[in-house]
């Protein structure tokens, strides 16, 4: 009898032990990062504090010119092999070639029903083949600004129109302060380089007449700058000695910088030369986030990305992707704020503008209604992003030096660029 009781007890303990599961630790999601920014780590910490079943760990990668060493190529190989990261932060150096191959998730479906909260034109500019494979959480804008009178009433221009407008100016008028041949070429390529590339077919056309015109136009500017000690950017425009001013808008008060230069003149934010669209160029600000197409935890990954899209977080950014956050920032910018300094009430300086030759900066205390409307118009009309391929850019800039120096002809240089670019675009498109 005792023997039977003992056997029953042993069986009961065994069954109990077999049915018990060891407590599992949290699922670890890997976030690939190229820059290891402190803000990224801060957001990872916030996520980890709010989740017990999932934790994010950052893994660092590096960009490189050699494909075998390049972090982008490494991530692609890892994901295809099934052991890559769940999340990727491409950073501000992001380009559309980072996601060729569709190895990251299309994020548009995650925004369905909420697209009206965002600047859809900004998001669409980052789409590749109609899919949003990576999302910027904020952005900056680069454009050219000039007086409408000097620009002949133009609101936008292509490359031929830009060159023609410049040729119409009186002798001695600069295109813009700082106009070296390399800078002119770089700015034109910023808005137009993608016109010469077809990533889907893996072809390019840098040996065509238009690109030769661009190089010839850039070569007409000086190699370096010789600036007088008393040179003033603002005075150059007041005297009609410069046509346009490169303008970067990294925050809502950036709209005031060009207007300081042109005083009360009507301004056209004409942008970089582009075909049939606004030439204002959108630059991604860090981070630019993506989800691996093979991650088993895509919804949780989207939870992390959503932290950056939260309206309260977005309001802290320069130019947020969230439309509602932008509207609230602009509404606040209309009001002058005050503080007590040494017992006296003084307006709070929200930003300041200064250019070379200024004795002191121009302080900005608030924006006008017209300025906020103009900024929204510039944002909503922007369609081009500068997420161009840096490898191609280097191919071009490395080769044009021999043309600018007179060592090679225009035809020889464009043929070399075409050959090298064709190989790179073909290989990248596979």
Give residue 430's pLDDT: 65
Q: Can you list the residues of the chain whose pLDDT is less than 70?
A: 1-23, 67, 264, 387-388, 430
Query: Alpha-carbon Rg of the chain, whole angstroms?
Result: 27
Give residue 9's pLDDT: 44
Residue 282, both tokens: 């959108």
Give residue 37's pLDDT: 77
Spatial distance between the Cα atoms of 190 and 351, rounded to a whole number of angstroms: 27
Q: Where are the alpha helices (DSSP H) in 51-89?
A: 71-81
Give residue 18's pLDDT: 45
Helix (H), strand (E) at residue 377? helix 369-381
In 3D space, the residue among 195, 187, 196 whose CA is nearest the CA of residue 218 turns out to be 187
In 3D space, the residue among 380, 318, 381, 378 whose CA is nearest the CA of residue 139 turns out to be 318
Spatial distance between the Cα atoms of 257 and 270, rounded to a whole number of angstroms: 15
**Strand stretches in 22-71, DSSP E:** 27-33, 54-60
Give residue 55's pLDDT: 97
pLDDT in tens, 30-74: 999 998 778 999 999 999 999 999 999 999 999 887 767 789 989
What is the CA 107 to chain-centroid distance, rounded? 17
Give residue 330's pLDDT: 97
Spatial distance between the Cα atoms of 108 and 42, rounded to a whole number of angstroms: 26
Asked whether the beta carbons of 355 and 238 are under 8 A apart, the reply is: no
Spatial distance between the Cα atoms of 49 and 53, rounded to a whole number of angstroms: 11
The structure's pTM equals 0.88
């Amino acid at each position: 009898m005792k023997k039977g009781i003992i056997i029953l007890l042993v069986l009961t303990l065994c069954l109990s032990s077999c049915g018990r599961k060891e407590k599992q630790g949290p699922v670890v999601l890997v976030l690939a990062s190229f820059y290891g920014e402190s803000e990224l780590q801060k957001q990872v910490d916030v996520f980890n504090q709010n989740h017990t079943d999932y934790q994010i760990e950052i893994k660092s990668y590096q960009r490189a010119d050699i494909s075998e060493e390049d972090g982008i190529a490494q991530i692609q190989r890892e994901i295809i092999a099934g052991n890559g990261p769940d999340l990727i932060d491409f950073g501000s150096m992001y380009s559309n070639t980072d996601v060729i191959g569709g190895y990251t998730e299309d994020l548009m479906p995650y925004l369905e029903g909420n697209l009206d909260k965002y600047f859809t034109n900004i998001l669409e500019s980052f789409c590749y083949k109609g899919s949003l494979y990576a999302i910027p959480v904020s952005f900056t804008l680069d454009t050219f600004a000039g007086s409408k009178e000097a620009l002949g009433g133009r609101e936008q221009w292509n490359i031929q129109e830009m060159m023609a407008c410049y040729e119409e100016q009186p002798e001695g008028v600069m295109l813009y302060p700082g106009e070296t041949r390399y800078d002119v070429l770089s700015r034109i390529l910023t808005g137009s380089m993608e016109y010469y590339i077809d990533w889907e077919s893996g072809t390019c056309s840098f040996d065509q007449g238009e690109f030769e015109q661009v190089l010839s136009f850039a070569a007409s500017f000086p190699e370096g700058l010789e600036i007088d000690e008393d040179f003033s950017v603002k005075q150059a425009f007041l005297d009609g000695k410069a046509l346009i001013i490169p303008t970067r808008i990294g925050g809502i008060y950036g709209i005031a910088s060009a207007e300081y230069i042109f005083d009360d003149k009507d301004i056209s934010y004409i942008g970089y030369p582009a075909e049939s669209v606004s030439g204002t160029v959108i630059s991604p600000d860090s981070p630019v986030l993506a989800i691996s197409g093979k991650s088993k935890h895509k919804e949780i990954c989207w939870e992390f990305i959503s932290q950056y899209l939260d309206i309260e977080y977005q309001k802290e950014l320069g130019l947020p992707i969230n439309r509602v956050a932008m509207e609230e920032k602009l509404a606040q910018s209309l009001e002058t704020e005050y503080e007590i300094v040494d017992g006296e009430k003084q307006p709070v300086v929200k930003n300041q503008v200064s250019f070379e030759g200024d004795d002191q900066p121009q302080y900005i205390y608030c924006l006008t209604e017209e300025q906020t409307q103009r900024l929204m118009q510039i944002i909503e009309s922007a369609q081009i992003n500068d997420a161009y391929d840096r490898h191609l850019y280097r191919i071009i800039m490395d080769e044009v030096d021999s043309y600018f120096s007179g060592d090679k002809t225009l035809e020889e240089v464009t043929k070399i660029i075409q050959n090298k670019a064709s190989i790179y675009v073909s290989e990248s498109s596979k």
